[in-house]
Structure 1
Amino acid sequence: MAKKTCVITGTAGFIGYHLADLLLTQGHQVVGIDIVSDYYEVSLKEARLVNLKKFEGFVEKRIDLADWSAVETVFKEYRPDICVNLAAQAGVRYSLENPRAYLHSNVDGFLNILEACRHYPVEHLVYASTSSAYGANTSMPFKVSESAEHPMTLYAATKKSNEMMAHAYSHLFNIPSTGMRFFTVYGPWGRPDMALFMFTKDIIAGKPINVFNNGNMQRDFTYVKDIVEGISRLADIPPGIDLDWDSNNPNPSTSGVAPYRVVNIGNTRCEKLMRYIEVLEEKLDIKAEYNMLPMQDGDVPATWADVTELSEITGYKPSVTIEEGIGHFVDWYKFYYKINS
């Protein structure tokens, strides 16, 4: 990617931090937007930002995406070439407890990003969607060319709504947009509410770990560095209108009336949760105690990504194994929390 000015939302968050770090290392200017909410420990978010502030090309804007005036001010001042929207109220299970937080951040906030890209045109809007959009689908691997109309949680519904909102704005205002359905992202600087982080914390503390669906879960675990490499490559290749699109048999991942697309970013491997836990036990050299529990509301038994479109567009395909990725996470966790091996 030629040197660009990039607005990245969610730079205090897990994926946003890693993407900002990558783009700053490549010499781009990054204007980071994040409200630094207290959804999980703020000290971890602040530590990520401290690392980003070491780069001369990083500008921090601590604002709420749902505040249109603040968002507009940023776009008016910096006129970004690229916008990557990663800020969101995350967490499938939390959406059962606090649904309004998801509408505020994921819908109202995303609308402001679309409006900003409309009034201050960008070369490309890239935004996070989720594998949870596939909901009740069971045909695997999940393909973006297949319908995904049955979300199982409000979180998934808000991210699916982002895809539809982006299509409308892409059509009406010629905003090239790419939605990215992420599959179970993990790695260093991860979120404390994610499985790997919670497992590691409890295993080290000698507490049993909660294993849902009695361990009969399968996930396409995707290492965060693979995710951000995919994002950075996609950002440099905005979509056009799909000239082969058939309105009588519409492909939901592209459009014949808008410069729009949706892609999967996943590791293309369907791993058993118990194998994921076994690898963590090996890296920690500690045997865990299991608290076997039933499936939680809104959860799905398996996810598995087909990344054909990502590979065709960028020439890139995620490749980090869980053995390598979990090892990197454990090394980071011990370093960050000052745990002696």
Structure 2
Amino acid sequence: MQSKWYSNLTIVAMTILFCGLIFAQSMKTTIEEIMDNPGRFESESVEIEGVVDQWIKGSTTTTSHYLLKGNYGGIIKVTTLQEPKIGPRFKVTGICFIEAASRTPFISEQNRTELDQPTENTVIIEKEKSNSGLFIALILLLVGLLAFLVYYQTKMKKAQPSTHAPTTFGEPVSKQGPGEGPPETVKIRKDFSTVKIHTAPKTMKLIPGELTIISGDDKGKSFKIAGYPTPEGSVVTIGSEDVTGDRAFAHIKLFDPQRTVSRKQAHIIDRDRKLYIKNISKVNFTEVNGKVLGPEEEIELTPDAHIRMGYLELKYTR
């Protein structure tokens, strides 16, 4: 769907660009443009159209030239050795120069072609206005088409159901399909004071065994917890950070006023029918049966294993 969306945008953009290039090519340099900004065209070859308004024969001190009148009333001097007809419309090609004293532009004629178009400026102006109007109408049509594509794609995106839940671990192993109903609301368990855990949704599998707190105010209390499905296995995160959202049920928050536990302390991983604990922290230690785990080091959790993180001690039973 997304690739089709970008393809449609590309087609519209290329169409607008193509039409713009065609229109730009069709717009010849006008006499008025040269008169308004002569420096832009100085020493450049230009092609202009207009009606010969007056012929002035040269003398010993001046060059023969004629005055060419543009569609919008602008008049420019064109130097030449060949006298033109007065009245007809011509297409003139030449080099644009600027007189040093008056800073007035003039054209040194290289080629002149009489045109078969009407000589009435009004007719020509109206024709150019009509062409400009058609181009503006085309642009508005393309903009409208682009707006429709944006609306259509947005509507289709909203109508498309989501097929997976967000995760910070990567793509989840299990997905909730259409028609399975809304996700269950997890609740915070109120019977603990040193840890914060949530009830697990019924659709989530509990990790084998249970954890028992063997130190602090919650000493002797046990709990089961579900892991969050990831490519690494079902994962339970442990640390002092507060996790909300779809991973809250798979997190054990440790209340640590002495700051002996990191925000991301450890992971318990249910993988291949075995349970592992992995130390994540690079500052605070995770200890299993007296063995201190290094950063990113993991060890299998066996029945009756003792886990210590800061002040908190847990016992895993199965």
Q: Under TM normalisation by the shorter chain, which class is it?
A: under 0.3
Higher relative contact order (CA 8 A, sep 6+): 1
Q: TM-score, normalised by structure 1?
A: 0.17
Select the structure of larger CA radius of gyration. Answer: 2
More strand by share: 2
